[in-house]
Structure 1
Amino acid sequence: MAGGGDGWVFGYGSLMWRPGFSFVERSSAILHGRRRAFCIYSVHHRGTYERPGLVLGLAPGGAVRGAAYRVAEADWPEVYAYLMEREQPTETYVEARRPVRLADGRRVESLVFLSDVGHPQWAGALSLERQAQLITGAVGLSGPNEDYLRDLVGHLREEGVRDRAMEDLLIRVERQAAHARLEIQ
Protein backbone atom coordinates (compact mmCIF):
# COMPACT_ATOMS: atom_id res chain seq x y z
CA MET A 1 0.00 0.00 0.00
CA ALA A 2 1.11 3.51 -0.65
CA GLY A 3 2.45 4.87 2.63
CA GLY A 4 3.10 1.39 4.03
CA GLY A 5 1.15 -0.60 6.56
CA ASP A 6 -1.77 -2.95 6.18
CA GLY A 7 -4.47 -2.20 3.62
CA TRP A 8 -8.23 -2.61 3.60
CA VAL A 9 -10.53 -3.97 0.88
CA PHE A 10 -14.30 -3.42 0.87
CA GLY A 11 -16.60 -6.05 -0.66
CA TYR A 12 -20.36 -5.75 -1.22
CA GLY A 13 -21.03 -8.81 -3.41
CA SER A 14 -19.18 -12.08 -3.85
CA LEU A 15 -16.11 -10.69 -2.08
CA MET A 16 -18.23 -10.90 1.09
CA TRP A 17 -18.44 -14.69 1.01
CA ARG A 18 -15.62 -15.65 -1.34
CA PRO A 19 -12.79 -13.17 -0.99
CA GLY A 20 -10.17 -15.50 -2.46
CA PHE A 21 -7.22 -13.79 -0.76
CA SER A 22 -5.40 -13.84 2.56
CA PHE A 23 -6.50 -11.38 5.22
CA VAL A 24 -5.79 -10.81 8.89
CA GLU A 25 -9.16 -9.31 9.89
CA ARG A 26 -12.70 -9.23 8.57
CA SER A 27 -15.47 -6.92 9.74
CA SER A 28 -18.93 -5.90 8.67
CA ALA A 29 -18.66 -2.42 7.23
CA ILE A 30 -20.73 0.40 5.74
CA LEU A 31 -19.77 2.55 2.78
CA HIS A 32 -21.73 5.80 2.49
CA GLY A 33 -22.48 7.52 -0.81
CA ARG A 34 -22.88 4.31 -2.83
CA ARG A 35 -25.46 1.54 -3.05
CA ARG A 36 -25.43 -2.08 -4.16
CA ALA A 37 -27.10 -2.43 -7.56
CA PHE A 38 -27.24 -4.72 -10.58
CA CYS A 39 -26.05 -1.91 -12.82
CA ILE A 40 -23.30 -3.45 -14.97
CA TYR A 41 -23.82 -5.61 -18.04
CA SER A 42 -21.76 -8.77 -17.58
CA VAL A 43 -20.09 -10.14 -20.70
CA HIS A 44 -17.44 -12.13 -18.84
CA HIS A 45 -18.31 -13.64 -15.43
CA ARG A 46 -22.13 -13.94 -15.69
CA GLY A 47 -22.95 -13.43 -19.35
CA THR A 48 -21.47 -13.09 -22.82
CA TYR A 49 -21.36 -10.39 -25.47
CA GLU A 50 -24.15 -12.26 -27.27
CA ARG A 51 -26.26 -12.69 -24.09
CA PRO A 52 -25.19 -10.26 -21.39
CA GLY A 53 -26.16 -10.77 -17.80
CA LEU A 54 -25.86 -8.32 -14.93
CA VAL A 55 -23.41 -8.02 -12.07
CA LEU A 56 -23.31 -5.82 -9.04
CA GLY A 57 -21.76 -2.44 -8.91
CA LEU A 58 -21.58 0.42 -6.48
CA ALA A 59 -23.97 2.92 -8.00
CA PRO A 60 -24.03 6.52 -6.76
CA GLY A 61 -26.25 7.33 -3.79
CA GLY A 62 -27.33 5.71 -0.55
CA ALA A 63 -25.22 3.46 1.65
CA VAL A 64 -24.23 -0.20 1.45
CA ARG A 65 -23.38 -2.80 4.07
CA GLY A 66 -20.62 -5.15 3.12
CA ALA A 67 -17.42 -6.61 4.50
CA ALA A 68 -14.03 -5.00 4.97
CA TYR A 69 -10.84 -7.07 5.00
CA ARG A 70 -7.54 -5.97 6.49
CA VAL A 71 -4.69 -7.30 4.38
CA ALA A 72 -1.16 -7.54 5.77
CA GLU A 73 1.32 -5.18 4.18
CA ALA A 74 3.48 -8.12 3.03
CA ASP A 75 0.48 -9.70 1.23
CA TRP A 76 -0.80 -6.48 -0.34
CA PRO A 77 0.99 -6.71 -3.74
CA GLU A 78 -0.30 -10.25 -4.35
CA VAL A 79 -3.83 -9.43 -3.12
CA TYR A 80 -3.96 -6.26 -5.19
CA ALA A 81 -2.88 -8.12 -8.35
CA TYR A 82 -5.52 -10.80 -7.68
CA LEU A 83 -8.24 -8.19 -7.19
CA MET A 84 -7.31 -6.36 -10.39
CA GLU A 85 -7.60 -9.62 -12.35
CA ARG A 86 -10.85 -10.63 -10.65
CA GLU A 87 -12.65 -7.29 -10.58
CA GLN A 88 -11.38 -5.67 -13.76
CA PRO A 89 -11.63 -8.17 -16.65
CA THR A 90 -13.39 -5.54 -18.78
CA GLU A 91 -12.43 -2.47 -16.71
CA THR A 92 -16.01 -1.64 -15.72
CA TYR A 93 -15.00 -0.34 -12.30
CA VAL A 94 -13.02 2.64 -11.09
CA GLU A 95 -10.52 1.81 -8.40
CA ALA A 96 -10.86 4.23 -5.48
CA ARG A 97 -10.01 4.67 -1.81
CA ARG A 98 -13.00 5.49 0.38
CA PRO A 99 -13.62 5.58 4.12
CA VAL A 100 -15.78 2.77 5.49
CA ARG A 101 -17.16 2.40 9.00
CA LEU A 102 -16.41 -0.95 10.63
CA ALA A 103 -18.83 -2.72 12.98
CA ASP A 104 -16.79 -1.60 16.01
CA GLY A 105 -17.02 2.06 14.96
CA ARG A 106 -13.55 2.47 13.49
CA ARG A 107 -13.25 4.31 10.19
CA VAL A 108 -10.68 2.95 7.77
CA GLU A 109 -9.61 3.92 4.27
CA SER A 110 -10.48 1.03 1.97
CA LEU A 111 -9.90 -0.03 -1.60
CA VAL A 112 -13.28 -0.10 -3.36
CA PHE A 113 -14.30 -0.70 -6.95
CA LEU A 114 -16.90 1.91 -7.95
CA SER A 115 -19.09 1.52 -11.02
CA ASP A 116 -17.78 3.48 -13.99
CA VAL A 117 -20.92 5.28 -15.18
CA GLY A 118 -19.13 6.22 -18.42
CA HIS A 119 -18.23 2.64 -19.35
CA PRO A 120 -20.19 0.98 -22.22
CA GLN A 121 -21.19 -1.84 -19.83
CA TRP A 122 -22.85 0.61 -17.41
CA ALA A 123 -26.52 -0.42 -17.36
CA GLY A 124 -27.68 2.34 -15.05
CA ALA A 125 -30.96 2.26 -13.17
CA LEU A 126 -32.92 -0.59 -14.73
CA SER A 127 -36.38 -1.62 -13.54
CA LEU A 128 -36.56 -4.80 -11.47
CA GLU A 129 -38.42 -6.42 -14.37
CA ARG A 130 -35.63 -5.59 -16.84
CA GLN A 131 -32.97 -6.77 -14.38
CA ALA A 132 -34.82 -10.07 -13.99
CA GLN A 133 -35.02 -10.49 -17.79
CA LEU A 134 -31.28 -9.99 -18.15
CA ILE A 135 -30.32 -12.24 -15.23
CA THR A 136 -32.65 -15.14 -16.09
CA GLY A 137 -30.82 -17.57 -18.34
CA ALA A 138 -27.55 -15.61 -18.64
CA VAL A 139 -24.39 -17.70 -18.16
CA GLY A 140 -20.74 -16.65 -18.16
CA LEU A 141 -17.33 -18.01 -17.21
CA SER A 142 -18.30 -18.02 -13.51
CA GLY A 143 -21.64 -19.77 -14.11
CA PRO A 144 -25.32 -18.86 -14.24
CA ASN A 145 -26.26 -15.28 -13.43
CA GLU A 146 -29.17 -16.62 -11.33
CA ASP A 147 -26.71 -18.43 -9.03
CA TYR A 148 -24.87 -15.17 -8.39
CA LEU A 149 -28.10 -13.45 -7.32
CA ARG A 150 -29.19 -16.45 -5.21
CA ASP A 151 -25.77 -16.58 -3.49
CA LEU A 152 -25.92 -12.84 -2.85
CA VAL A 153 -29.34 -12.95 -1.19
CA GLY A 154 -28.44 -16.01 0.89
CA HIS A 155 -25.15 -14.59 2.08
CA LEU A 156 -26.66 -11.19 2.83
CA ARG A 157 -29.22 -12.94 5.04
CA GLU A 158 -26.41 -14.83 6.81
CA GLU A 159 -24.78 -11.45 7.50
CA GLY A 160 -28.07 -10.12 8.89
CA VAL A 161 -28.60 -7.81 5.91
CA ARG A 162 -32.11 -7.55 4.48
CA ASP A 163 -31.86 -6.05 1.00
CA ARG A 164 -35.48 -5.97 -0.13
CA ALA A 165 -34.63 -4.95 -3.69
CA MET A 166 -32.33 -7.97 -4.10
CA GLU A 167 -34.90 -10.28 -2.50
CA ASP A 168 -37.66 -8.94 -4.81
CA LEU A 169 -35.36 -9.38 -7.78
CA LEU A 170 -34.66 -12.99 -6.83
CA ILE A 171 -38.40 -13.72 -6.63
CA ARG A 172 -38.87 -12.26 -10.13
CA VAL A 173 -35.93 -14.23 -11.55
CA GLU A 174 -37.17 -17.48 -10.03
CA ARG A 175 -40.65 -16.88 -11.51
CA GLN A 176 -39.22 -16.13 -14.95
CA ALA A 177 -36.94 -19.17 -14.83
CA ALA A 178 -39.85 -21.44 -13.80
CA HIS A 179 -41.98 -19.99 -16.60
CA ALA A 180 -39.17 -20.57 -19.12
CA ARG A 181 -38.81 -24.20 -17.98
CA LEU A 182 -42.55 -24.76 -18.44
CA GLU A 183 -42.39 -23.35 -21.97
CA ILE A 184 -39.62 -25.80 -22.88
CA GLN A 185 -41.59 -28.83 -21.68
Structure 2
Amino acid sequence: MKKIVFGFVFAFFAAFGLSAQQITRFGVVDTARVYQAYFRNSAPVRNYESKKAEFQTEINKRTEEIQNLKNQKVDFQKNNNSAAVSRLDAEITRKTDTLTEYTNAKNVELESLKKNLQNSDSFYKKLYGVLERVAENEGYSMILSLQQANAVLWYSPSVDITEKVIAELGI
Protein backbone atom coordinates (compact mmCIF):
# COMPACT_ATOMS: atom_id res chain seq x y z
CA MET A 1 0.00 0.00 0.00
CA LYS A 2 2.88 2.33 0.80
CA LYS A 3 4.26 1.70 -2.67
CA ILE A 4 0.96 2.74 -4.24
CA VAL A 5 0.68 5.89 -2.13
CA PHE A 6 4.35 6.68 -2.75
CA GLY A 7 3.84 6.12 -6.49
CA PHE A 8 0.77 8.34 -6.46
CA VAL A 9 2.56 11.13 -4.55
CA PHE A 10 5.62 10.81 -6.80
CA ALA A 11 3.45 11.00 -9.92
CA PHE A 12 1.58 14.01 -8.50
CA PHE A 13 4.75 15.96 -7.76
CA ALA A 14 6.33 14.93 -11.04
CA ALA A 15 3.26 16.13 -12.92
CA PHE A 16 3.13 19.33 -10.87
CA GLY A 17 6.82 19.98 -11.48
CA LEU A 18 6.47 19.47 -15.22
CA SER A 19 3.45 21.71 -15.45
CA ALA A 20 5.22 24.41 -13.42
CA GLN A 21 8.00 24.57 -15.98
CA GLN A 22 7.30 27.13 -18.60
CA ILE A 23 9.13 26.92 -21.88
CA THR A 24 10.12 30.33 -23.16
CA ARG A 25 9.53 30.75 -26.87
CA PHE A 26 11.26 33.45 -28.85
CA GLY A 27 10.26 34.77 -32.22
CA VAL A 28 12.13 36.99 -34.63
CA VAL A 29 10.76 39.47 -37.13
CA ASP A 30 12.54 41.02 -40.07
CA THR A 31 11.00 44.47 -39.61
CA ALA A 32 12.68 45.77 -42.76
CA ARG A 33 10.83 43.13 -44.84
CA VAL A 34 7.56 43.92 -43.03
CA TYR A 35 8.12 47.62 -43.69
CA GLN A 36 8.78 47.02 -47.39
CA ALA A 37 5.73 44.78 -47.75
CA TYR A 38 3.49 47.27 -45.92
CA PHE A 39 4.57 50.35 -47.83
CA ARG A 40 5.18 48.79 -51.24
CA ASN A 41 1.87 49.96 -52.66
CA SER A 42 1.16 52.94 -50.42
CA ALA A 43 0.60 56.43 -51.81
CA PRO A 44 3.53 57.96 -49.87
CA VAL A 45 5.95 55.40 -51.33
CA ARG A 46 4.57 55.92 -54.83
CA ASN A 47 5.03 59.68 -54.32
CA TYR A 48 8.63 59.12 -53.16
CA GLU A 49 9.40 56.86 -56.13
CA SER A 50 7.75 59.32 -58.53
CA LYS A 51 9.78 62.26 -57.22
CA LYS A 52 12.94 60.17 -57.33
CA ALA A 53 12.32 59.29 -60.99
CA GLU A 54 11.41 62.92 -61.80
CA PHE A 55 14.62 64.19 -60.21
CA GLN A 56 16.71 61.57 -61.98
CA THR A 57 15.18 62.52 -65.34
CA GLU A 58 16.09 66.17 -64.73
CA ILE A 59 19.62 65.22 -63.65
CA ASN A 60 20.06 63.11 -66.79
CA LYS A 61 18.79 65.98 -68.97
CA ARG A 62 21.19 68.48 -67.39
CA THR A 63 24.09 66.03 -67.58
CA GLU A 64 23.41 65.52 -71.29
CA GLU A 65 23.38 69.31 -71.84
CA ILE A 66 26.78 69.59 -70.14
CA GLN A 67 28.15 66.72 -72.24
CA ASN A 68 26.91 68.41 -75.43
CA LEU A 69 28.67 71.63 -74.40
CA LYS A 70 31.87 69.68 -73.75
CA ASN A 71 31.61 68.12 -77.23
CA GLN A 72 31.13 71.60 -78.75
CA LYS A 73 34.15 72.83 -76.82
CA VAL A 74 36.29 70.03 -78.30
CA ASP A 75 35.14 71.05 -81.79
CA PHE A 76 36.02 74.71 -81.13
CA GLN A 77 39.41 73.67 -79.74
CA LYS A 78 40.12 71.74 -82.96
CA ASN A 79 39.25 74.90 -84.95
CA ASN A 80 41.40 77.09 -82.67
CA ASN A 81 38.39 79.24 -81.70
CA SER A 82 39.63 80.36 -78.28
CA ALA A 83 36.82 82.89 -77.71
CA ALA A 84 34.17 80.17 -78.11
CA VAL A 85 36.21 77.77 -75.94
CA SER A 86 36.35 80.37 -73.14
CA ARG A 87 32.63 81.09 -73.43
CA LEU A 88 31.82 77.34 -73.29
CA ASP A 89 34.20 76.81 -70.36
CA ALA A 90 32.31 79.43 -68.36
CA GLU A 91 28.93 77.96 -69.36
CA ILE A 92 30.05 74.39 -68.54
CA THR A 93 31.30 75.53 -65.13
CA ARG A 94 28.05 77.40 -64.42
CA LYS A 95 25.85 74.46 -65.51
CA THR A 96 27.99 71.95 -63.58
CA ASP A 97 27.70 74.06 -60.41
CA THR A 98 23.95 74.41 -60.92
CA LEU A 99 23.64 70.64 -61.44
CA THR A 100 25.60 69.95 -58.26
CA GLU A 101 23.37 72.33 -56.26
CA TYR A 102 20.23 70.80 -57.78
CA THR A 103 21.42 67.26 -57.03
CA ASN A 104 22.31 68.11 -53.44
CA ALA A 105 18.97 69.85 -52.83
CA LYS A 106 16.97 67.01 -54.33
CA ASN A 107 18.92 64.39 -52.38
CA VAL A 108 18.10 66.26 -49.16
CA GLU A 109 14.44 66.40 -50.20
CA LEU A 110 14.36 62.67 -51.00
CA GLU A 111 16.12 61.81 -47.74
CA SER A 112 13.53 63.83 -45.83
CA LEU A 113 10.68 62.01 -47.60
CA LYS A 114 12.34 58.67 -46.87
CA LYS A 115 12.74 59.49 -43.16
CA ASN A 116 9.09 60.50 -42.96
CA LEU A 117 8.12 57.15 -44.46
CA GLN A 118 10.34 55.23 -42.06
CA ASN A 119 9.05 57.08 -39.01
CA SER A 120 5.36 56.53 -39.67
CA ASP A 121 3.75 56.33 -36.22
CA SER A 122 0.54 54.79 -37.56
CA PHE A 123 2.53 51.96 -39.16
CA TYR A 124 4.44 51.20 -35.95
CA LYS A 125 1.31 51.33 -33.79
CA LYS A 126 -0.31 48.82 -36.11
CA LEU A 127 2.87 46.71 -36.25
CA TYR A 128 3.19 46.51 -32.46
CA GLY A 129 -0.49 45.56 -32.13
CA VAL A 130 -0.03 42.77 -34.68
CA LEU A 131 3.19 41.61 -33.01
CA GLU A 132 1.38 41.40 -29.67
CA ARG A 133 -1.53 39.46 -31.19
CA VAL A 134 0.71 37.01 -33.08
CA ALA A 135 2.96 36.50 -30.04
CA GLU A 136 0.02 35.81 -27.74
CA ASN A 137 -1.76 33.52 -30.22
CA GLU A 138 1.42 31.56 -30.98
CA GLY A 139 2.68 31.42 -27.37
CA TYR A 140 5.82 33.53 -27.82
CA SER A 141 7.33 35.13 -24.74
CA MET A 142 9.53 37.52 -26.66
CA ILE A 143 9.85 38.81 -30.21
CA LEU A 144 13.21 40.10 -31.41
CA SER A 145 13.90 42.28 -34.41
CA LEU A 146 16.46 41.02 -36.91
CA GLN A 147 17.51 44.64 -37.49
CA GLN A 148 19.14 44.62 -34.06
CA ALA A 149 21.59 42.01 -35.34
CA ASN A 150 24.14 42.64 -32.61
CA ALA A 151 21.60 41.28 -30.10
CA VAL A 152 20.76 38.14 -32.09
CA LEU A 153 23.73 35.85 -32.48
CA TRP A 154 21.81 32.94 -33.95
CA TYR A 155 18.25 31.92 -34.53
CA SER A 156 16.41 29.03 -36.05
CA PRO A 157 14.29 29.90 -39.09
CA SER A 158 11.44 28.15 -37.28
CA VAL A 159 11.11 31.16 -34.95
CA ASP A 160 10.89 33.72 -37.78
CA ILE A 161 7.31 35.01 -37.69
CA THR A 162 7.81 37.73 -40.32
CA GLU A 163 5.39 36.11 -42.79
CA LYS A 164 2.70 35.78 -40.09
CA VAL A 165 3.10 39.46 -39.21
CA ILE A 166 2.86 40.47 -42.88
CA ALA A 167 -0.27 38.31 -43.26
CA GLU A 168 -1.83 39.80 -40.12
CA LEU A 169 -1.19 43.29 -41.46
CA GLY A 170 -3.30 42.28 -44.44
CA ILE A 171 -0.54 42.67 -46.99
Q: In terms of Rg, which structure is larger? A: 2
Whether TM-score is above 0.5 comes out as: no
The structure with the largest strand share of the pair is 1
Per the normalisation by structure 2, the TM-score is 0.21
Q: Which has the higher contact order (CA 8 A, sep 6+)?
A: 2
